[in-house]
Structure 1
């Protein structure tokens, strides 16, 4: 399997790439900073310089040649303002979907966030609100496309070691999840086409990942 990951230098993306290459798949990471090339190579991935805030659909589609799936794991990141939440978390996700359609890549996994479909609490920080709006818009855009999409909404992210067991359902209570477990779930979702069309929330839990994904398809 050849998988192209947007936001290839993110913590989750690096873990996904390491897992995919470790099991014999090919991982390609789209990055905008050439200083990150060696970090991707260190986990066995192929780095490709592509700034999704400035690339056009033809450029991105060219990088998806022969891909079996794409994962959107990009984000504007801490310290970015509301404007970049829109240009990265929404617009870049839509650009990747446009490119996937043009390149004939049908499988698309979107890393979103829990809380995007809940009313914003009074006093919510403007940048956080912009982030949630951008993620929700990216979800809504993806649902309208003829792609085999799956939307994954992780809870509060930690850098803990992977547990290998989770709670994965359309709606869960608030909770945390390690980035390592998110990466394992993303890789497992690639192997289960019956999760296409599903929006799944993810937190720590008691169920082995394979069993949790199987349950999500029934």
Structure 2
């Protein structure tokens, strides 16, 4: 069983891919109105507000999972405060809950270019988002979990090609949300990807080959 935090487009694509191959996929969502979307993707749903829930509540929801993917985000239109409470604090809460529920595998969807937060002219809210993601990566990398951090480039809604460029550092670029979900599935299937931080953009390598090459 794989549990994905978040109702965003990447999470829904991931849950659909997992369900299509016979995995039990469960999504944690804040808004009950999003339950139907998860069911349509073939996934189960648990209503849980990660900005309000206790670690005990989250751990109870995660119990029995083989892996957890944190793909939640405050989303467009949210202010700097929610970038912190979702993109940083909620990611740490879920990691705490993994410890409590004895789940070792944790994948975090982050972002490329986190060092742009202090560049001149960077929008204040976007800078808060970048700092929150950087803090969540730093927190996760200090934990005794089998974590993997995936940093996609600029996300698009174009149909995925299944061809990517993946590595510890890659040039800036775009990547479809479809292909991000495909890479997440491949990382879940590859235990050797634990404790790797990987950047992802569109490219020319089939996903499975890109993952194998990136983790050596």
TM class, shorter-length? over 0.9
Q: State yes or no: 1:73 paired with 2:71.
A: yes
Partner of 1:197: 195
Partner of 1:4: 3
Q: 2:146 aligns with which of 145, 148, 171?
A: 148
Q: Which secondary structure does the structure 2 equivalent of 1:58 belong to?
A: helix
Structure 1 position 118, deviation (Å): 4.5
Matches within 5 A, 1:87-166: 87-118=85-116, 120-166=118-164
Q: Work out the CA distance in 2 between the residues paired with 1:77 and 1:204.
A: 23
Partner of 1:183: 181
Q: Which secondary structure does the structure 2 equivalent of 1:124 belong to?
A: coil
Q: Work out the CA distance in 2 between the residues paired with 1:117 and 1:69.
A: 29
Structure 1 position 140, deviation (Å): 0.1
Q: Work out the CA distance in 1 between the residues paired with 2:41 and 2:30.
A: 18
Partner of 2:166: 168
**Which string of whole-angstrom CA distances, capped at 9 and with x for unpartnered residues, describes residues 139-191 of structure 1?**
00000000000000000000011110100001111100000000000011000
Structure 1 position 117, deviation (Å): 3.4
**Which string of whole-angstrom CA distances, capped at 9 and with x for unpartnered residues, describes residues 190-211 of structure 1?**
0001010000000000111000
Q: State yes or no: 1:84 paired with 2:86.
A: no
Partner of 2:13: 15
Q: Work out the CA distance in 1 between the residues paired with 2:124 and 2:115.
A: 17
**Which string of whole-angstrom CA distances, capped at 9 and with x for unpartnered residues, describes residues 41-62 of structure 1?**
0011101000000000000000
Structure 1 position 216, deviation (Å): 1.4
Aligned residues: 216
Structure 1 position 120, deviation (Å): 3.0
